[in-house]
Structure 1
Amino acid sequence: MSQNQAEFPYSDTVWDARELWSRDQITAYQTEQMKAQLVRVGRTSAHYSKVFAECGFDPASFTSLDDLRRLPLTRKKDYVAGLAQDPPFGTFRAVDVADAVRVHFSSGTTAAPAPVLWSAYDADRWADLYARYLYAQGLRKTDVFHCMFGYSWFVGGLGATMAAQKLGALVIPGGSVDTQRQIDTILQYKPRCVIGTPSFMAHIAEAAIARGIDLADSSVEMVCVGGEPGASIPGTREKIERQWGAKMFDCYGALECQPIGWDTAAQTGPTLAEDFIHVEILDAKTDEPVPDGTPGVLVLTHLDKEACPLVRWWTGDIVVRDSTPAPDGRTHARLVGGVHGRGDDMLIVRGVNLFPSAVEDVVRAHPGTTNEYVLVVNDSMKDPNTGMLRRITLRVEREDAADTGLGETLKAALRAQLNVSFDVEVLDAGTLPRTVHKATRVVKE
Structure 2
Amino acid sequence: MTSPTTVRPYSDRYWSEVEISPLEQLRELQLAALRKQLEYVGAHSAFYRAKWRELGFEPGDVRTLEDLRRLPVVTKADYVADLDSAAPWGTNVTADRRDVRRVHFSSGTTGRPTPVCWSAADLTRWADLYARTGYAQGVRDHDVYQCLFGYAWFVGGLGATAGYERLGATVLPGGSSETERQIETMFRYGTTAISGTPSFILHLAEAAEAKGTPLACSAVSRIQVGGEPGACVPATRAHIERRWGAKCFDGYGSLEFQPIAWECEEQAGGHLVEDFAYAEIVDPETHEPVPDGTPGALVLTHLDKQATPLVRWWTGDIVVRDSTRCGCGRTHGRLAGGVVGRADDMLVVRGVNLFPSAVEQVVRRTAGTTGEYLIVLDEDVTDPATGYLTGIKLRVEVEQGVPEDFGSRLAAAVRAELTVRCVAEPVPEGTLPRSTHKTKRVVRAG
Tell me whether 1:439 sits opposite 2:445 in the alignment.
Answer: no
Whether the 8 Å CA contact 2:390–2:421 is kept in 1: the answer is no
1:16 aligns with 16
Aligned to 1:94: 94
Q: Secondary structure at the match of 1:338?
A: strand
1:206 corresponds to: 206
Residue 186 (structure 1) shift? 1.1
Look up the match of 2:418: 418
Structure 1: distance between partners of 2:213 and 2:400: 18
Conserved 8 A contact 1:401-1:428: no
- 2:194 maps to 194
- Residue number in structure 1 paired with 2:123: 123
Normalised TM-score (structure 1): 0.97
Indicate whether 1:39 and 2:29 are aligned. no
Contact 2:229/2:357 (8 A) holds in 1? yes
Give, in whole Å, the separation in 1 of the partners of 2:173 and 2:400.
35
Listed as ranges, the matches of 1:369-388 within 5 Å are 369-378=369-378, 381-388=381-388
Aligned counterpart, 1:396: 396
User: In structure 2, do the counterparts of structure 1 residues 198 and 65 end up closer, same or farther at CA, with 3 Å as the change threshold?
Assistant: same
Q: Deviations over 1:124-153 (max 9, x none)?
A: 100000100100001000000010000000
CA distance in 2, matches of 1:389, 1:345: 14
Deviation digits for residues 365-404 of structure 1 (CA, Å, limit 9, x no counterpart): 1111113111111355322343320122111101225543
Residue 224 of structure 2 is matched in structure 1 by 224
Which residue number in structure 2 is paired with residue 340 of structure 1? 340
SS in structure 1 of the partner of residue 259 of structure 2: strand
Query: Matched residues in 2 for 1:409 and 1:137: separation?
Result: 38
For residues 403 and 207 of structure 1, do their structure 2 counterparts lie closer, same or farther at Cα, with a shift above 3 Å needed? Answer: farther
Kindly tell me the number of residue pairs found equivalent between the two proteins.
441
- For residue 299 of structure 1, what is the aligned residue in structure 2? 299
Residues 273-332 of structure 1 show CA distances to partners (whole Å, capped at 9, x for unaligned) of: 000000100011111100001110000000000101100011111100011111111000
Q: State how 1:45-56 maps to structure 2 within 5 Å.
A: 45-56=45-56
Counterpart CA distance in 2 for 1:371 and 1:82 is 41
CA contact (8 A) 2:140 2:169 kept: yes
1:263-282 per-position Cα deviation (integer Å, ceiling 9, x unaligned): 01110100000000001000
Using structure 2 for the length normalisation, give the TM-score.
0.97
What is the percentage of aligned positions where both structures have the same residue? Answer: 56
Aligned to 1:57: 57
For 1:371 and 1:46, locate their aligned partners in 2 and report how far apart those are by CA, in whole Å.
48
Q: Distance in 1 between matches of 2:308 and 2:378?
A: 38
State the shift of 1:213 in Å.
1.7
Return the offset for 1:49.
0.6
SS of equivalent residue, structure 1 residue 435: coil
Aligned to 2:236: 236
Deviation at 1:93, TM superposition (A): 1.4
Q: Which runs of 5+ in 2 are unaligned?
A: none
Indicate whether 1:255 and 2:236 are aligned: no
How far the C-alpha of 1:34 sits from its partner, in A, is 0.6
* SS of residue paired to 1:339: strand
For residues 41-93 of structure 1, the C-alpha deviation after alignment (integer angstroms, 9 at most, x for no partner) is 01111110101101100112321111111111000001101111111111221
Contact 2:281–2:289 (Cα < 8 Å) also in 1: yes
| Residues in 2 aligned to 1:157 and 1:403: alpha-carbon distance in whole angstroms | 42
| Residue of structure 1 equivalent to 2:272 | 272
Q: Secondary structure at the residue paired with 2:297? A: strand
- SS at 1:175's partner residue? coil
CA deviation vs aligned residue, 1:2-33 (integer Å, no higher than 9, x gap): xxx99x95222100000001111111011111
| C-alpha distance in 1 between matches for 2:240 and 2:380 | 35
How far residue 340 of structure 1 moved from its aligned partner, in angstroms, is: 0.4
Q: Does 1:182 align with 2:193?
A: no
The 10-residue stretch of structure 1 (163-172 or 395-404) with the greater mean CA deviation from structure 2: 395-404
Distance 1:388 1:401 in 2: 36
* Comparing 410-419 and 312-321, the one that deviates more: 410-419
SS at 1:373 equivalent: strand
8 Å CA contact 2:197–2:438 kept in 1: the answer is: yes
Q: Secondary structure of the residue that 2:243 maps to in structure 1?
A: helix
Cα separation, 1, equivalents of 2:209 and 2:115: 39
CA distance in 1: counterparts of 2:178 and 2:122, whole angstroms: 31
In the aligned structure 2, how far is the partner of 1:289 from the partner of 1:386?
Answer: 33
Contact 1:372/1:397, CA 8 A, preserved across alignment? yes
Answer with 405-414 or 298-307: which moved more: 405-414
Shift of residue 96, structure 1, vs aligned partner: 2.0
- One-letter amino acid of the counterpart of residue 436, structure 2: V
Please name the residue that 2:290 is paired with: 290
Aligned partner letter, 2:363: V
Match for residue 77 of structure 1? 77
More displaced stretch, 375-384 vs 230-239: 375-384
Supply the RMSD in Å over aligned alpha carbons.
1.5
Are the counterparts in 2 of residues 202 and 371 from structure 1 also a CA contact under 8 Å?
no
Query: Unpaired segments of 5 or more residues in structure 1?
Result: none
1:409-428 C-alpha deviation (Å, 9 max, x unpaired): 21121111111111111111
Give the superposition deviation at 1:246: 0.5
One-letter amino acid of the counterpart of residue 344, structure 2: D
**What residue is the counterpart of 1:308 in the other structure?**
308
C-alpha contact (below 8 Å) 1:131/1:163 kept by paired residues: yes
Aligned to 2:159: 159
Q: Distance between the aligned counterparts of 2:101 and 2:403, measured in 1?
A: 54
Cα distance in structure 1, aligned partners of 2:9 and 2:194 = 26
The AA in structure 1 aligned to 2:16 is: D
Report the Cα distance in structure 2 between the residues aligned to 1:379 and 1:300, rounded to whole angstroms: 38
CA contact (8 A) 2:237 2:248 kept: yes
Residue 100 (structure 1) shift: 0.4
Q: Which amino acid aligns with 2:357?
A: S
**Are 2:140 and 1:140 aligned?**
yes
